[in-house]
Chain A
């Protein structure tokens, strides 16, 4: 599976959009981009995934660049409860998920 690169930490003001970047320059054509988040001492929570088109669900939006070498997770109106570690993962087929250290997002009042 392709490797991903994420910033170690980010800050966001409550109510503003949080834009979390992820680089995956070695992604191959059949690999999906997944996003999870983990609130302290809990199990990770699935957020969203996509292949090449932009995706949106009730939690977030996923923007994948045309060359698929990077993506951005957007939380449109961040709340304090969105404070968590966010993991960007690239995966193909039925291969297992490989978690890096992710981005620690701190949402402040």
Chain B
């Protein structure tokens, strides 16, 4: 079955350490997105990529980095520069076929806790 896989589901990190969250999709979607969600809040956009080897900052990109070397993969690195990294991180993808083909497909998320 096609879908988006995020791993790991739970992640613990010590302060000052970088950590990379994985996001893989086999939907042949062109665009991929990373969102962050804090308790009781909506989703906030971190980074997005419309095509391989290209990506743009979202609303809260500081302290994060991404790469898009393959269409299927869009890993997110949470660096030590991110002041409050503890959150629920969601990856999504979407085809570039236009509005008639529907919405985003989301992964099941990674819950990151800094200890």
B103 within 8 Å of A (CB atoms): yes
Interface footprint category on B: 20 to 34
Specify which of B42, B103, B108 is in contact with A101 (CB 8 Å cutoff): B42
B109→A87 contact, CB < 8 A: no
Closest-CB distance, B109 to chain A (whole angstroms): 5
A43→B90 contact, CB < 8 A: yes
Selected interface stretch from A20-28, A34-42, A60-68: A34-42
Question: By the criterion of a CB under 8 Å from any partner CB, how many residues of chain A are at the interface?
Answer: 21
A99-B43, A101-B42 are known contacts. Are A44 and B50 too (CB-CB below 8 A)?
no
B52 within 8 Å of A (CB atoms): no
A87-B42, A96-B33, A100-B42 are known contacts. Are A43 and B107 too (CB-CB below 8 A)?
yes
Closest-CB distance, A16 to chain B (whole angstroms): 26
Q: Taking CB as reference atom, which chain A residue is nearest B105?
A: A46
The interface residues of chain A, by DSSP majority, are classed as loop
Residues in B whose Cβ lies below 8 Å from that of A34: 103
B103→A46 contact, CB < 8 A: yes
Specify which of A32, A49, A98 is in contact with B45 (CB 8 Å cutoff): A98
Residues in B whose Cβ lies below 8 Å from that of A44: 43, 90, 92, 104, 106
Specify which of A32, A96, A99 is in contact with B42 (CB 8 Å cutoff): A99
A53 within 8 Å of B (CB atoms): no
Q: Taking CB as reference atom, which chain B residue is nearest A57?
A: B102
Residues in B whose Cβ lies below 8 Å from that of A43: 4, 90, 92, 106-109
A51 within 8 Å of B (CB atoms): yes
**How distant is the Cα of A36 from the Cα of B90 in the complex, in angstroms?**
14
15 contacts between A and B (CB under 8 A): A34-B103, A36-B104, A42-B109, A43-B90, A43-B108, A44-B92, A46-B102, A49-B103, A94-B31, A94-B96, A96-B48, A97-B43, A97-B45, A101-B40, A102-B42
Beyond the given pairs A43-B109, A44-B43, A94-B31, 14 more chain A to chain B contacts, judged by CB atoms under 8 angstroms and listed by A's residue number, are A41-B109, A42-B108, A43-B107, A46-B102, A46-B103, A46-B104, A49-B103, A51-B99, A87-B42, A94-B96, A97-B45, A97-B104, A99-B43, A102-B42
